[in-house]
Structure 1
């Protein structure tokens, strides 16, 4: 009949499937961040109506959960037999390298955690490293949550600062100037450090990675102190 909508095959369009929808949502997340694309944009990316997204996957939150699950599947888990601290150091480094490619995912994980299906293998191995090190089950669970949430919060901070890079540069430039009051010696020391970093593009580029590594190491230091107490029977 004249005016009847053509099928996708007749129009030369690929079929809309759940996997294709999640692929498109993953690409939008990499480009714009997980919180910055709309369901209408996603529908446009797969040449379909928003109702088709609902039919195949669900609402936006359901799609985002699927995106987070897909991202979680991308990072590599260190070998289970590694010493607990080395395992966590490597795992969180791998986590950052993947999460920073998909802005906003780290914040979602920090707030809500992963789904059991996606995060189960990671949590299982993470918990076993802590139990083997000497933590009881309840405290191992607390340490696990602490380490993952702190890493994700730092990655989230990096996501936000990269988006506001121009404002950040202006503020950083101000902190790199010597203080007006000569008695502010602590501030002068900080200003000198900021100035040196801003003057060295390579050092400035690595700032986020250095801050992340420093934060992870210091949190691991604290966990090690607690573990030493447990092993001494304190």
Structure 2
């Protein structure tokens, strides 16, 4: 019950007092179950990550990672502030550890070395978290002229700006704010680039 209420809002502004007021209970009742705001956030984020893991049965590690990344993005977007907290706190509890273990099992089962498996998993997670952060920052800029694409469009249309036709075509196309396309393209670029590294040189063969 407490976690359900806590998940219904922005994690960046979550407070024990505010949560207790919404639930019409005392602060002490929240603290009884969760000793501090940090413990509450840890439990909440850990619960959210249960939606990240793809179902069993995918043999290809790239397909598993692709599914994982899309599931994680959907869950994080549904809970504003979760990406910020996960970047700040890192893995904090049991479900997250279990997902890491499963990811390493899938990657190593695909023939990757333990170190490579960790680097690939960590890079994918960081990519998802950073992309969700960027989307949330963009969504927060609702006032006219604050959004990056709006500012760039205004600057490019100003008389004193020299002609920049290629950049203007990008801005006019709304590609800057097409986060679904940006996410998919970046994820596919990562997945295609991942692979075994040369042990001697640290570079791809």
What's the TM-score bracket when you normalise by the shorter of the two chains?
0.7 to 0.9
Offset at residue 159 of structure 1 (A): 1.5
1:181 aligns with 2:158: no
Pick which of 101-110 and 116-125 moved more.
Answer: 116-125
Q: Judge conservation of contact 2:103–2:121 (CA < 8 Å) in 1.
A: yes
1:21 aligns with 2:2: yes
1:172 aligns with 2:146: no
Structure with bigger gyration radius: 1
RMSD: 2.6
Change (3 A) 1:113 1:168: farther
Aligned counterparts of 1:87 and 1:168: Cα–Cα separation in 2: 40
Q: Following superposition, which runs of at least 4 residues in structure 1 exceed 6 angstroms of deviation?
A: none
| Unaligned residue ranges in structure 2 (runs of 5+) | none
Aligned counterparts of 1:168 and 1:68: Cα–Cα separation in 2: 33
Aligned counterparts of 1:168 and 1:69: Cα–Cα separation in 2: 37
* TM-score between both structures, scaled by the size of structure 2: 0.84
After superposition, what is the alpha-carbon deviation per residue over 1:61-105, rounded to whole angstroms, capped at 9, x for unaligned?
111111101111133414343311111111101111111000111
Aligned counterparts of 1:110 and 1:150: Cα–Cα separation in 2: 11
Aligned position for 1:212: 183
Aligned position for 2:83: 106
Aligned position for 1:134: 111
Q: Judge conservation of contact 1:84–1:133 (CA < 8 Å) in 2.
A: yes
Offset at residue 170 of structure 1 (A): 4.7
Aligned counterparts of 1:146 and 1:53: Cα–Cα separation in 2: 35
| Alignment map for 1:1-234 (pairs within 5 Å) | 20-27=1-8, 29=9, 33-166=10-143, 170-176=147-153, 177-178=156-157, 180-182=161-163, 187-197=164-174, 207-224=178-195, 227=196, 234=205
* TM-score between both structures, scaled by the size of structure 1: 0.74
Q: Judge conservation of contact 2:2–2:30 (CA < 8 Å) in 1.
A: yes
| Unaligned residue ranges in structure 1 (runs of 5+) | 1-19, 198-202
Aligned counterparts of 1:35 and 1:58: Cα–Cα separation in 2: 18
